[in-house]
Amino acid sequence: MDWSTAAAERLQLDPQWVKKQVGQARRLPSVERLVLPPSSPAAKNWAAYRARFIEPQRIQAGLRFWQTHRSDLERAEQEYGVAASVVVAIIGVETFYGQYTGNFRVIDALATLAFHFPASHPRAAARESFFKGELEQFLALTSRSGADPMSIRGSFAGAMGLPQFMPSSWARHAVDFDGNGRIDLFNSPADAIGSVANYFKAFDWRPGMPTHYPVTLTPGQTDMDSLMAPDILPTFSVANFVSKGASLSGAALQHTGPLALIELRNGTDAPSYVAGTENFYAITRYNWSSYYAMAVIDLAEAVSREMQNSR
């Protein structure tokens, strides 16, 4: 049984329709190149990464977005417990508030990565399997909504709309927040706002909890191997964290949940460190990168300051 027939059976869709859609998808060599790690990776540089997102135009666009959609953001915060500033920042980092949502046909991107994922990638088998699942979800979504699979555009990896949801995230977490009877993450900021908030709630966002705390490390007195071993997963109690030589102060000492030591490299300069909470980890469920999470947090804070100043 070929993939299209098996997928149609799993999805309970017309096999001829599925075969036709997949048959029309074009292989995109540019997408195959884009998913490969760079041959000579540049040294990670938090300051350079941050500067791409925490800059005046994006901050002002975030302010306008928040002012325009204030009621939806407040409603999402009440309903899902996720800070409005974080929702605003996610949409700002992902698509500059809808200015850059991607120009690849989603079916081409997903089919390319499902059937032609580069074998040289270190996780090729797992990624290929993931994209086959995403292609199935995309076909199911378009079949249910009546949208033309050939007309939908997104990122080179198949992410869509203002919040850049993958098809599986759309299926699981997207909500009709404007109440018009359909979910539209491309043209309804309300649906995008509600869906991002719902996504974070699903990944255990804790209302009111800080995302991180300052931390001081003393060279030679800090058990870096133990602290770095769990990576970004919050693992250590405050007492355990401090006992390993990571100094905390103020509100951080009253924190009741687990912490992780987050390292942000600065090229040839010394790395920056923070103590990440479960809410920091929740942001990395959107994009598995501590640099991404910190950029979202810093953009959220910058736009929040502008909101305070504009009142």
Return the bridge partners of 165, or none: 160
81 conformational bin, left if phi > 0, alpha if psi -120 to 50, beta if neither: left
Sequence-distant (≥ 6) Cβ neighbours of residue 18 within 8 angstroms: 4, 5, 7, 8, 11, 139
Is residue 21 helix, strand or coil? helix
Return the bridge partners of 262, or none: 274
SS3 content of the chain, % helix, strand, coil (to 5): 55, 10, 35
- Asked whether 160 and 107 are in contact (CB, 8 A), the reply is no
- Asked whether 34 and 109 are in contact (CB, 8 A), the reply is no
Q: How far apart are CA 254 and CA 246, in angstroms?
A: 15
Catalytic residues: 94
What is the amino acid identity at position 181? G
Q: Which two tokens stand for residue 252?
A: 């951080």
